[in-house]
Amino acid sequence: MKVALIGYGYWGINLAKTIVANDRLELYSIFDLSLDRLEEARKLYAFKEFRNLKDLLGDENIEAVFIATPPQTHFSVGLQALNAQKHTFIEKPYTTNLSEAYQLLEIADKNNLITMADHVFVYSEPVKYLKKNLSKFGDIIYINARRINLGLFQSAVDVLWDLAVHDLSIIEYLVGLDIKRASAFIKKYGTFPNNAFGDVNLELANGVLVGINVSWLSPVKIREMIIGGTNLTALYDDTKNDKIRLYNAGVILNEEFGKAKLYEKMVQYRYGEEETPKLLNKMSLSNSVDYFVSCIMDKQKPRENHQGIISVIQALELISKIG
């Protein structure tokens, strides 16, 4: 399948490598407004060049486009691509507001096209493992996530739309994202116009409590998520080789207890074994791109991706409003 890559910046470079490595795809064209970036691409790949986006989208050889342009352009580029009958794979955030997301999804459905958000961690082996084994956890009580690092300060989006989008997409995939209550503290740094720090607390309709901490200010890079259930708890650390650790530990509440030592009798603690499951060594982006290709070939909508797009952008808009 011949595809085009629109945008050859930081994420576009990763996408180009992934597309070329996929034996079902041919990187037919790369388009970027920067001549310097195109020159860098020419050193690595042979591809057809177009003077403008209209000409590229008019080429009937191209079946799908990968969009890795600045977030504020995702809607415009995605709209042109869908109207040109191209399947679209759009870097996160899918769009920068809910109205635009609905429009793109509606046009894709109307034209029988596949459109997919690059919620890349949803397709990672650790998150796929968690989803498959979630029933073993019992009732999910809480999910705590930290995604902090130094930079990259961005002019197009703030830290929520840059980093929290990942955690929200994972949470939506695992337990849903129907928000009952929300509170948020978000803060700028100095004179920089966009928020650089955020602390988010959510209560979901299913009772799960969610805490998310994101920052562009931390000299230490942390990528952690703890999923706490009544039977099992998992630590998902994306910076480690062993990305999932399972803990058979928790709290047991006794219905009957003595009044003399109320709390000692009522609460007991279970300390069980730790386990590190074996996971496939496959890159998240490779899985994501390959799934997009399968959806096109099988003429099947991405699983839960449409709902995931809407739920995540709804959450980001809500948090941005109240923070």
Express each pLDDT in 142-157 by its tens digit: 999 999 999 999 999 9
- Going residue by residue through the chain (323 aa), what tens digit of pLDDT does each one get? 999 999 999 999 999 999 999 999 999 999 999 999 999 999 999 999 999 999 999 999 999 999 999 999 999 999 999 999 999 999 999 999 999 999 999 999 999 999 999 999 999 999 999 999 999 999 999 999 999 999 999 999 999 999 999 999 999 999 999 999 999 999 999 999 999 999 999 999 999 999 999 999 999 999 999 999 999 999 999 999 999 999 998 877 776 655 555 556 566 767 778 999 999 999 999 999 999 999 999 999 997 779 999 999 999 999 999 98
- The structure's pTM equals 0.94
42-72 core/surface letters (b: 16 or more CB in 10 A; e: else): eeebebeebeebeebbeeeebbbbbbbbebe
Give the C-alpha separation, 78 to 255, whole Å. 56
Burial of 266 (0-12, 13-18, 19+ CB in 10 A): middle
User: For the domain 122-281, what is the CATH code?
Assistant: 3.30.360.10
Classify the phi-psi angles of 214: left when phi > 0, otherwise alpha if psi is within -120 to 50, otherwise beta: beta
Q: Where are the domains of the chain?
A: 2-118+285-300, 122-281
Residue among 194, 229, 226, 243 at smallest CA distance from 71 = 194
How do strand 115-118 and strand 87-91 relate by DSSP bridges? parallel
Please say whether the beta carbons of 228 and 221 come within 8 A: no
Among residues 117, 203, 134, the alpha carbon closest in space to that of 174 is found at 134
Sheet architecture: strand order including 179-188: 179-188, 195-204, 209-215, 140-150, 217-229, 233-237, 244-253, 267-275
Tokens of 195: 């928020």
HSE (CB half, 13 Å, CA atoms) of 4? 30
Domains 2-118+285-300 and 122-281 belong to one CATH topology: no
Architecture of domain 2-118+285-300: 3-Layer(aba) Sandwich (3.40)
How far, in Å, are 32, 44, 92, 93, 98 from residue 312 at the CA level? 28, 35, 10, 9, 9
Contacts of 241 (CB under 8 A, 6+ apart): none
Distance CA 4, CA 16 (A): 9
